[in-house]
Amino acid sequence: MVGDMSAEEMPGDMTDGFHLVVEALKLNGVDTIYGVAGIPITDLLRLAQAEGIRYFGFRHEQSAGNAAAIAGYLTQKPGVCMTVSAPGFLNGMVALANATTNCFPMILISGSSDRAIVDLEQGDYEEMDQLAAARPYAKAAYRINRPQDIGIGIARAIRAASSGRPGGVYLDLTAEVLGSALDVEAAKKSLVKVVDPAPPQPPALEAVRRAFDLLANAQRPLVILGKGAAYAQADKQIREFIEKTGMPFLPMSMAKGILPDDHPQSAAAARSYAIGNADVVMLVGARLNWLLSHGRPPLWSEGTRFIQVDISPTEIDSNRAIAAPVVGDIRSVFFALHATLAMSLSPKVRETLPQVPEMKRQAAWMDEIGKRKQRNIERMAARLNADPSPMNFSSALRAVRNALATQPDVYVVNEGANTLDFGRNIIDMDQPRHRLDSGTWGVMGIGMGYAIGAAAVTGKPVVAIEGDSAFGFSGMEIETICRYELPVVTVIFNNNGVYRGDAPGSAYSPTGLLRDARYEKIIEAFGGAGYHATDTPGLTKALSEALASGKPALINAVIDPTAGTESGHIQSLNPRSAVAQKK
Ligand code: ADP
Ligand code: TZD
């Protein structure tokens, strides 16, 4: 078996593709691989593990890929997922496409079958033209056809995944390349250590000045932070800029925690008011996509002017005219903004440089936002404080929030429809990059993969708050969580259905799921702790206990089957019959 042989032991000072791939990954600091074993990568995974790379074996490639993607988001280093050919590759592709959509750096490495047979469609085991299949859904896709190209191929993949706008890269490794031999000396020379894989991209001074002018002259400015801002790890610079300018900010879902949710300048509780009335909005690592209603009325005003800070030049003007684009990486942009702000706040500098406008605090605007916030918070409190039986989304999330209140370093994974929408609003975040959710696609199935990836790279506890339908997409990974004894607590909001349950006694509808399923038994089969929580004190107690144990646990939180609305907060996106509307 090749995996048992070191390069030195090979006949005639030869090495092979297996060893070269592992060496190239190690040389570039890849310390973890997520995957599912099989032909032709089993020996590759064995060798990687023997050579000190941590390996997490999953039950399905989609979850392995999701773990790699979120590891990439959290560390700024591409997460690596390895899969077998054709079906394994396609399973992993969902995660790669999702990573690309969300701008997470990830590399999917798949073994592939004999090129000669694949290209003539002669019917090989797991035959597929994987490179062609991957290309439309990846930021970049490459194939390594010769062992001497392994070093450069992996280098290209790392750079493509992490530089500029990060994304998913597909790397095709033919079975033949893995088994091919190469002279040790030539092999050594062929390895490439990537220098500066994601170089800073400072903005043009003129662009920064243009944006600053617009911001300083705004009466009702608003900063919107997206997950690109969280990814950039410029937390301190962003926070200080917002605090020094006194502007309100709105975090997108995964940007919660760059500034804590209870920050006095957060406009989250007055979101529609702030968006609808701002005269200048600065988007920081947030796209004007469906999650921001494309920047269009009725949520937005026609007259609002935009500053957009983004690393991708083609993102600018994607939905609305951007008055002040600032193309660059967020860290460098905020460095430049701070320099301009320091000048702006100094009367002495302004005397000598009158073109630098004074940044004034907009007290009336902040007061108005504050009043709306207060009103909305009071309204929400009534809903949150109710304690219906069975629990509903608000009360169950309050119970979860109470258990998390003293544990700011817990990572929160969240998916579902109502579970996601209510969860985003009710679970406050205190630290950056600690909320990981369905993201740009609103995809189901990220739950267990993200939870495992987050636990793997941070070593911190993770709470996955899952709709019962959402959980099903990756539920078998509970075994993976138990096998690696990861500190992941999964809370299932069980209301017997996609969005909600069917009426008692009725046949199962397209959205119905088994009534009163005992999900907690799943984890018990694997030696984890299962809880059945039917009220809020029970849910808080179960979650506190599970977190204190530091061990895998699953809480089946029983929610009223009538709670929840179809599609959560995005019901309007369901197409309506034009015929029915005419009637
Ligand atoms: P959200 O869903 O939170 O609104 P999006 O995923 O829509 O956020 O937007 C993220 C944006 O951040 C993308 O347009 C991406 O190009 C950008 N981005 C990612 N990393 C950086 C970075 N380091 N500097 C600047 N922009 C970045
Ligand atoms: N498949 C995939 C991959 N992603 C999706 N988003 C969907 C299907 C459709 N879908 C949603 O948009 S939310 C959802 C599905 C199936 C599940 C909602 O039910 P839930 O959550 O039990 O997870 P709530 O909290 O009960 O609404």
Residue 243, classed as helix, strand or coil, is helix
- Return the ligand 1 atom nearest residue 289 CA: 7
Task: Measure 232 CA to ligand 1 centroid, in angstroms.
Answer: 9
Q: Which atom of ligand 2 has the smallest separation from the CA of 444? A: 4
Pocket test for ligand 1, best of 224, 287, 331, 333 (most atoms within 8 A of CB): 287
Q: Is 442 left (phi over 0), alpha (psi -120 to 50) or beta?
A: left
Q: What is the DSSP letter of 508?
A: P
Amino acid at 567: S
Q: Which of 241, 227, 179 is nearest to 435 (CA)?
A: 227
Q: Which atom of ligand 2 is nearest to the CA of 564?
A: 27
CA of 488 to the centre of ligand 1 (A): 28
Question: Mind spelling out the 3-state secondary structure of 355-387?
Answer: CCCCCCCCHHHHHHHHHHHHHHHHHHHHHHHCC
Q: Hey, what are 517's tokens?
A: 């399923």
CA-to-CA distance for 163 and 193, rounded, in angstroms?
15
> How far, in Å, is the centroid of ligand 2 from the Cα of 502?
15
User: If you measure from the C-alpha of residue 286 to the centroid of ligand 1, how many angstroms do you get, rounded to a whole number?
Assistant: 5
| CA-based torsion, 432, 437, 441, 446: positive or negative | positive
Pocket test for ligand 2, best of 420, 437, 498, 571 (most atoms within 8 A of CB): 498
Q: For residues 155, 159, 160 and 162, what is the CA-based torsion angle, rounded to 10 degrees?
A: 140
Q: Whose CA is nearest to atom 6 of ligand 1?
A: 102
Query: Residue 105 CA: which ligand is closest?
Result: 1
CA distance 505 to 174: 54
What DSSP letter does each residue of 205-234 carry, written as one string?
HHHHHHHHHHHHT-SSEEEEE-HHHHHTT-
Per-residue pLDDT of the chain (583 residues; tens, 9 = 90+): 344 445 455 556 999 999 999 999 999 999 999 999 999 999 999 999 999 999 999 999 999 999 999 999 999 999 999 999 999 999 999 999 999 999 999 999 999 988 899 999 999 888 899 999 999 999 999 999 999 999 999 999 999 999 999 999 999 999 899 999 999 999 999 999 999 999 999 999 999 999 999 999 999 999 999 999 999 999 999 999 999 999 999 999 999 999 999 999 999 999 999 999 999 999 999 999 999 999 999 999 999 999 999 999 999 999 999 999 999 999 999 999 999 999 999 999 999 998 899 999 999 999 999 999 999 999 999 889 999 999 999 999 999 999 999 898 999 999 999 999 999 999 999 999 999 999 999 999 999 999 999 999 999 999 999 999 999 999 999 999 999 999 999 999 999 999 999 999 999 999 999 999 999 999 999 999 999 999 999 999 999 999 999 999 999 999 999 998 888 888 888 888 888 765 5
- Ligand 2 atom closest to 471 (CA): 23
Look at residue 3 in the predicted model and tell me its pLDDT: 42
Atom 20 (ligand 1): residue with closest C-alpha? 228
Q: Is 182 helix (H, G, I), strand (E, B) or coil?
A: strand
What residues pair up with 558 in beta bridges, in sequence order? 494
Task: Count other C-beta atoms under 10 Å from residue 575's C-beta.
Answer: 5
DSSP 545-569: HHHHHTS-EEEEEEB-TT-S-TTGG
- Which atom of ligand 2 is least distant from the CA of 500? 26
Q: 164 CA distance to ligand 1 centroid (A)?
A: 10
Return the ligand 2 atom nearest residue 570 CA: 12
- What atom in ligand 2 is closest to the CA of residue 565? 27
Ligand 2 site, residue 495, Cβ cutoff 6 A: yes
The residue whose CA has the least distance to atom 9 of ligand 1 is: 286
Alpha carbon dihedral 158, 164, 168, 173, in 10-degree steps, equals -30
Query: 280 with 216: CB under 8 angstroms?
Result: no
Atom 11 in ligand 2: which residue has the minimum CA distance? 417
Tokens, residue 81: 């997922």
Ligand found nearest the CA of 420:
2
Which ligand lies nearest the alpha carbon of 335? 1
Beta-bridge partners for 309? 284, 326
Pick the residue whose CA is nearest to atom 8 on ligand 2: 444
The atom of ligand 1 lying closest to the CA of 224 is 4
Closest residue by Cα to residue 13 from 192, 186, 177, 150: 186
Residues with CB under 6 A from ligand 1: 102-103, 165, 226-228, 231-232, 252, 254-255, 285-287, 289, 291, 310-312, 315, 329-330, 440
In sequence order, which residues have a C-beta less than 8 Å from that of residue 451 and are 6 or more positions away? 411, 413, 462, 464, 481, 486, 488, 490
- CA of 188 from ligand 2 middle (Å) equals 49
Please report, for residues 182, 240, 492, 494, 505, the alpha-carbon distance to residue 502 in angstroms, rounded to integers and kept in the order given.
Answer: 62, 50, 18, 13, 8
Q: Is 475 in the pocket of ligand 2 (CB under 6 A)?
A: no
